[in-house]
Amino acid sequence: MPKIGIIGGTGIYNPDTFETESTVCPDTPYGKPSDDIMIGRINGVEVAFLFRHGRDHRFPPSGVPYMANMHALRELGCEYVISACAVGSLREEMAPGDLVIADQFMDFTKGRDYTYFDDRAVHIAIPDPFCPFLNDVFAETAEEMGIRYHNGGTYVCIEGPRFSTRAESRMFRILGGDIIGMTAVPECQLARELGMCYCSLATVTDYDAWKDETVDIDMVVRTMAECLGKVLALLEGGLPRMDSRASGCGCSEAARAAGALGRE
């Protein structure tokens, strides 16, 4: 059973580096995940890979079956979840092509399913929503590999699928946001409810709308494609370092303290 789940897009799944051993599409109490889950190895480390939006990109950000995705990975035995995603930058110093390892988020989504507990109040402590152990693993790996990165950053999550207006982008900067995307919520908090460690490896593709340029999907896809090699290299280098459960990170302990793991 793989301990590591990776959620990403078609570029992150690289058949040259991912040795597929089996494919599953489990049923969950929340329906099917967004696509088949491929179990295999990256640099000798067993992982479960899932296309967040589906292999054919059929799920918009607000339509991703987040609850089914995270539940399926947990049932497969995953203790860690690594999210590879594209984001806009709200800071000059976080330039297109840079990697940002997020450590906080602000939620501006509107109509998603945010919790597995709809029959009782389960209050998860989530002051540090991204796993500090995983963040350190990939920051150290990026440092050693000479990849330009930022260890820490506040991820502003919006509903999408549209991009920000200039007024919204300026507001998010004033509020303290560093990067902006559409998928970290509710993935991150669902992972915490399930006692899994969660890390976001965010590639900056643009400067959102606060600068003079206009963001479009072609810009995002083009920049992400140019940066894929770095993300793949980071995964190959970082995954072997995750050979034991994070000690003292608090991710699973927070879920247990709130009673979220009582149904296991």
Each residue of 169-190: b (16+ CB within 10 Å) or e? beebbeeebbbbbbbbbbbbbb
Percent of the chain with pLDDT over 70: 94
- Which residues have a Cβ under 8 Å from the Cβ of 103 and sit 6 or more positions away? 128, 130, 132, 135, 151, 152, 153, 154
- 48, β-bridge pairs: 5, 39
The verdict on residue 40 lying in a domain is: yes
Nearest alpha-carbon partner for 254 in 164, 118, 129: 129
CATH number for the domain harbouring residue 71: 3.40.50.1580
Classify strands 104-108 and 45-51 as parallel, antiparallel or unpaired.
Answer: unpaired
The verdict on residue 35 lying in a domain is: yes
Which residues are the active-site residues?
A: 206, 208
What's the whole-number mean pLDDT along residues 58-71?
96
Each residue of 49-86: b (16+ CB within 10 Å) or e? bbbbbbeeeebebbebbbbbbbbbbbebebbbbbbbbb
pLDDT of residue 258: 66
pLDDT of residue 173: 98
The verdict on residue 77 lying in a domain is: yes
pLDDT of residue 216: 81
Q: Is the pLDDT of residue 13 over 90?
A: no
pLDDT of residue 249: 83
Per residue in 216-254, pLDDT (tens digit) is 888 888 888 888 889 999 999 999 998 655 556 888 887
The verdict on residue 262 lying in a domain is: no
214, burial (CB in 10 Å: exposed 0-12, middle 13-18, buried 19+): exposed
Q: What does the block give as tokens for 51?
A: 């296309």
| Structural domains in the chain (count) | 1
Range of the structural domain that residue 213 is part of: 4-257
Contact 66, 186 (CB under 8 A): yes
The pLDDT mean for the chain works out to 91
Return the number of other C-beta atoms located less than 10 Å from residue 141's C-beta: 20
- Residue type (1 letter), 232: L
Q: Is the pLDDT of residue 261 over 80?
A: no
Q: Is the pLDDT of residue 196 over 70?
A: yes
Q: What's the pTM value of the predicted model, to 2 decimals? A: 0.93
The verdict on residue 264 lying in a domain is: no
The verdict on residue 95 lying in a domain is: yes
Per residue in 79-131, pLDDT (tens digit) is 999 999 999 999 999 999 999 999 999 999 998 999 998 888 888 889 999 99
Local confidence band at 263 (pLDDT 50, 70, 90 cut-offs)? very low
The verdict on residue 182 lying in a domain is: yes
Per residue in 35-64, pLDDT (tens digit) is 999 999 999 999 999 999 999 999 999 999
The verdict on residue 263 lying in a domain is: no
Local confidence band at 264 (pLDDT 50, 70, 90 cut-offs)? very low
